[in-house]
Structure 1
Amino acid sequence: MYKINHKAVVLVFIFQMVVGGIWYASTPFSFLGRTALEDMAKQPTVGMVLLFAFSTFVYLYFTAWLLVKVKGLSGFGRFFLVMGIWLFIVVPNYIFVFINLHLSESDVLYLLSYGAVSCAIAAIILPLWRSSRSIFKD
C-alpha cells in the first residue's frame, strides 16, 4: 500500500510558500492603493502569515491523502484530479467574489491566481513522486 510521500508534501509546501511571497510582492498598485512592500506598518501580521501557511499546508496534506486513497488512476489522471478539484472550488469563488465584493475582473483574477499556481505545483509533483511501497504491515 502506498503511503503519503512526506518529502513531496514538504517540497511542494516550500515551493508554494516561495510562490506566495512572490505573488504578494507583485500585488498590483490598483489592488492595494500602494506597492506591496511600500509601507511596513501595513504588512500582514505574523499571525496572518502563520494562518496562511497553516491553511496551505492542511489543504496540501488533504490533497496528498486524497491521492493516496484514489485507486486506478495514472499519474496523468491524478494530475487532472487535483486540477479538477481546484477548478470546482474556484469557479464558485470567482462568481461570489466578482458579484459580492464589486472588484474588477483583473483584481478577481489576481486574487485567484495564487490558487492556480499553487495547485499546478501540487498537481505536477504529488502524483508523480509517489511514496515507495513498504514491506512492513501496519
Structure 2
Amino acid sequence: MYKVNKRAVVLVFILQIILGGVWYVSAPSSFLDRLTRTIEPNQLDIGLIFAFVASSFVYLMFTAWLLSRVKGFSGAGRFFLVIGLWLFVVLPNSAFLCFYLGFGISDMLYFLSYGAVNSAIAAIILPLWRSSRSIFKD
C-alpha cells in the first residue's frame, strides 16, 4: 500500500486556498448579500476564514488517506473515486444546505461550483502523484 504523499497534499491545499480566494473575490453581489446580513460589511470574520481553511484541509486529508488505503485501483479508478466521493457525499449535503438557506438557482450553482473545482483539482493531482514506495519495511 502507498503512504500519503504530503507534497501532493500541500500542493492541492495551496491551490484550493488560492482558488477559494479567487472564488470569494469574484462572487456575485446577490451571493454576498446573504453573507452581509450576518457579518458586518467590509469585515470578514476570522472564525469564518479559519473554518473554511480547516474544513478544506480536513476533507483533503481524508481524501488522501482514503486514496492511500484502496488497492487494485488504477489512476483512472482513483480519479473516479475522488469524483464519486464528492458527487455522492458532498454534493447532496451542499445541495440540501442551499435549499435550506433559500438560495436561488444561480447562487446554488455558484456555491456548488467551488466544491466541484476543488474536487477536480484533488482528483487530478492526488491519484497521479502517489507517494513513492520504500524498499524498507516500517
TM-score computed with the length of structure 1 as normaliser: 0.88
Partner of 2:53: 53
- 1:95 deviates by 4.1
Contact 2:95 2:108 in 1 (8 A): no
Identity of aligned residues (%): 63
Partner of 1:97: 97
TM-aligned CA distance change 1:95 to 1:13, over 3 Å = closer
Contact 1:63 1:82 in 2 (8 A): yes
How many residues align? The count is: 134
Partner of 2:111: 111
TM-score computed with the length of structure 2 as normaliser: 0.88
Partner of 1:9: 9
RCO comparison, higher one (Cα < 8 Å, 6+): 2
Listed as ranges, the gaps of 5+ residues in structure 2 are none
Listed as ranges, the gaps of 5+ residues in structure 1 are none
- 1:42 deviates by 3.3
Q: Any idea what SS the aligned residue of 2:107 has?
A: helix
Contact 2:9 2:61 in 1 (8 A): yes
5 Å-filtered alignment, 1:7-86, equals: 7-33=7-33, 41-86=41-86
d(CA) in 1 for partners of 2:78 and 2:21? 27
